[in-house]
Amino acid sequence: MTAPSLEDPAAEVVLGCHVLGIEDQGDPVWGHVSRRDRDLGHVWLKAGPRGFDEVGAEDVVLTDLDGKRLLGSAPVPREYPLHTEVLRVREDVGSVVHCHPPHAIALAATGQPLYAFSNGAGPFAAGVPRYEAPVGLVETPELGADVARHLGDARALFLVGHGIVAVGASVATAVMTAVLLERACRLQLLAAAAGGVAPPLREPGSRYSHAEADGYLLRSWEYLVRRTNSGKDGKA
């Protein structure tokens, strides 16, 4: 199973933003989605500040890997290096999501690791690394490269005291990685409030190996796209 293909890469970024919007991943207007353009060697990137739910094609710009705007009129986000430096070193990555989801921020602030004890947390059974440098915005290539080093070959990274970075082969898989990470963090905080995650569940083994395939992510992506489109049509 492969990710849905859109002829217009800017439209793919817009759709990814809208899905994040219905999942309440905004803060309220900060955060961005990028999509590698392998034909051009550049990056389509959501400009800001715009809420995920209100992003339109006019809010997407094309930049090179140094952040120079090539197409579009919106301002390039200051944190473009979060995207370009990851894409520079991770050839397997086609899309990067950066957002500020509340439960992920809260869990990272506790210093606890994320435990994979649910289907939604399955993609993170190998762990989620942490970036703990006391910086505000990741707005220089040097900081972006440092973030990329901490991310390594993982699916996602906690930017402690800031937000998260999630990656995928496509916008669809990167967005779903961000969505599932937030849900996994929320479940862990609920478990903590009820006494904590039982020790046997802290080591999932291969229990959730089925959740590591992109096809698993894409089934949920297609559902959220249907929800997004129903909202646009004014349907329940």
Q: Residue 54 catalytic?
A: no
H helices then E strands: how many in the chain? 6, 8
Contact 175/97 with Cβ under 8 angstroms? yes
Output the pLDDT for position 232. Answer: 64
Is residue 136 predicted with pLDDT exceeding 60? yes
Is residue 116 predicted with pLDDT exceeding 70? yes
Is residue 148 predicted with pLDDT exceeding 90? yes
Output the pLDDT for position 17. Answer: 97
pTM of the model: 0.91
First to last CA, the chain: 29
89 sits in which H/E element: helix 80-89
Q: Where is pLDDT greater, at 106 or 122?
A: 106
Is residue 44 predicted with pLDDT exceeding 90? yes
What sign results for the dihedral spanned by CA atoms 22, 127, 45, 95? negative
**64-98 per-position pLDDT tens digit:** 999 999 999 999 999 999 999 999 999 999 999 99
Is residue 233 predicted with pLDDT exceeding 80? no
The Cα diameter of the chain in Å comes to 53
Output the pLDDT for position 142. Answer: 97
Is residue 1 predicted with pLDDT exceeding 70? no
* Residue of 23, 79, 85, 182 marked catalytic: 79
